[in-house]
Structure 1
């Protein structure tokens, strides 16, 4: 698990993947190593990148008593690649209950020039200090239990070959949402399933940043297979998740002009809505 104010001590694949180390020369800068095991296609998964930056911001805001992301928005400027990266953070305002901060993730290109991959603006606080009052009309997804759902081995073979991320996850998809795997997408624009880490790591707020972008692209259910790059992703965290499976839904209601929104909800094993997100993504280009 990670310790605010210093480097993380890796106890799982996810902890190792999001590990950051504060620079001795510049306390606002953190070194990271983007691993090959978190790729979708040639690039590193967008949710994983957000978790790396979210971890750096956690360190930056922890001194003010605000260790948890409450709202975090990211713009993806260029495709990240496995290898060294640097996260520069800036706390813009530290209040009594919340801090506002920004960060950017930078890698060097083959010529050694810095290229910004991701820019983030976030509000951090303490999820344990939030009021217990809940008033919602949101309902958890209705789907079979994990043992009756389908593993991602049913995804198209060429997709699996380029999706090492799925090897890190235990993802069980609702059978009603996997017609695309046999060439029969429903056209509803809905994917949902159960999620946990393959090595048994329990969910926490940083894992939720990965979870909102962990399912296959919802465009699969529209009959469009291929890479769906994220342009912008905003996540709201509502509670610290209980141990166990996460129930995750991804849906889209509007595909137009080659762009679509993808709304996600993450529910924990206690039946609480613990995270919500919306992203704007570019649909796969026709082949």
Structure 2
């Protein structure tokens, strides 16, 4: 993307074009990538949007993503992709759609998307980490370059890191694998699909223990709990264990109203020490 070219807004970037048989096409754009790899959370949103489009094509009522469970098989490249959908269950409260993202004849990402209606009332009980509603003045804005490669999302997203949780930026290698951050789209307001991206927008938590480099996700399951309010999404990401080349990453996404929006858990490969 040239310097003069503006980033495509998130909603337009995850739009799909129907081929009329439950199959769709889409374009993976460079501003929604890290280095040469399309961003994993962005791919979740694209898969969820494909499932919603497939149901709409069948004449089903408006559906929203509740769960997206995804296997990352091969990293797709920037450019056109094919999305094949398959209806697994059509239910009154929950519907399940399989979505497969293909590129050049190879399956790259596969997901099961559970759709339904998101809650609108206040929760009876909730337990979320105490992250301030907005980034403090000293928050660190993620720029163009990171240890994983060019952070192209900076063109389309505003991401701020809590400096007390990113010791690796100061050269420390023994901090807890926990990161807090804030994110919002540069155009428009966050929605349920953007919440899927927010659940994977953090730098890998293993950076805090000196494991720097690309950390590819193997499996990621995200739960959408309700629609986000306008404004910043605040995110806390924790890790339970780093075992040899494997680590887990649990993201809790909270909206500006203090409501739990997304829970995203992934298993990923850690860079070498």
TM-score (structure 2 length as normaliser): 0.90
Tell me, yes or no, if the aligned pair for 1:259 and 1:283 is still in contact at 8 Å.
Answer: yes
Q: What's 2:200 paired with?
A: 213
Unaligned runs of 5+ in 2: 1-6
Tell me, yes or no, if the aligned pair for 2:100 and 2:109 is still in contact at 8 Å.
Answer: yes
| Greater length-normalized contact order (CA 8 Å, ≥ 6 residues apart) | 2
Provide, for residues 144-172 of structure 1, a one-character-per-residue CA deviation record: whole Å limited to 9, x for no partner. 8424222113x8x4638522123321011
Indicate yes or no: 2:170 matched with 1:182: yes
Count of aligned positions: 264
TM-score (structure 1 length as normaliser): 0.86
1:262-273 mapped onto 2 (5 Å cutoff) = 262-273=249-260
Q: What's 1:132 paired with?
A: 121
Q: Distance in 2 between matches of 1:95 and 1:238?
A: 19
Q: Aligned to 2:190, which of 203, 209, 212?
A: 203
CA displacement at 1:238 relative to structure 2:
0.6
User: Matched residue of 1:57: which SS?
Assistant: helix
Provide, for residues 98-124 of structure 1, a one-character-per-residue CA deviation record: whole Å limited to 9, x for no partner. 21110100001xxxxx11110001210
Q: Distance in 2 between matches of 1:141 and 1:172?
A: 16
Indicate yes or no: 2:130 matched with 1:141: yes
RMSD over aligned Cα atoms: 2.0
Tell me, yes or no, if the aligned pair for 2:148 and 2:213 is still in contact at 8 Å.
Answer: no
Q: Residues 77, 19 of structure 1: CA spacing in aligned structure 2 closer, same or farther, 3 A cutoff?
A: same
1:114-133 mapped onto 2 (5 Å cutoff) = 114-127=105-118, 130=119, 132=121
Q: Aligned to 1:239, which of 226, 241, 245?
A: 226
Q: What's 2:77 paired with?
A: 81
1:65-76 mapped onto 2 (5 Å cutoff) = 65-76=61-72
Tell me, yes or no, if the aligned pair for 1:66 and 1:97 is still in contact at 8 Å.
Answer: no
Unaligned runs of 5+ in 1: 1-10, 109-113
Q: What's 2:35 paired with?
A: 41
User: Matched residue of 1:75: which SS?
Assistant: strand
Is the helix fraction higher in 1 or 2?
Answer: 1
Provide, for residues 5-51 of structure 1, a one-character-per-residue CA deviation record: whole Å limited to 9, x for no partner. xxxxxx95212321200114x2x000000011122232111111111
Provide, for residues 165-206 of structure 1, a one-character-per-residue CA deviation record: whole Å limited to 9, x for no partner. 23321011112112211212452110111110123x211111
User: Matched residue of 1:221: which SS?
Assistant: helix
Provide, for residues 63-95 of structure 1, a one-character-per-residue CA deviation record: whole Å limited to 9, x for no partner. 322521101100000011101100001111211
User: Matched residue of 1:220: which SS?
Assistant: helix
Tell me, yes or no, if the aligned pair for 2:65 and 2:116 is still in contact at 8 Å.
Answer: yes
Q: Residues 160, 168 of structure 1: CA spacing in aligned structure 2 closer, same or farther, 3 A cutoff?
A: farther
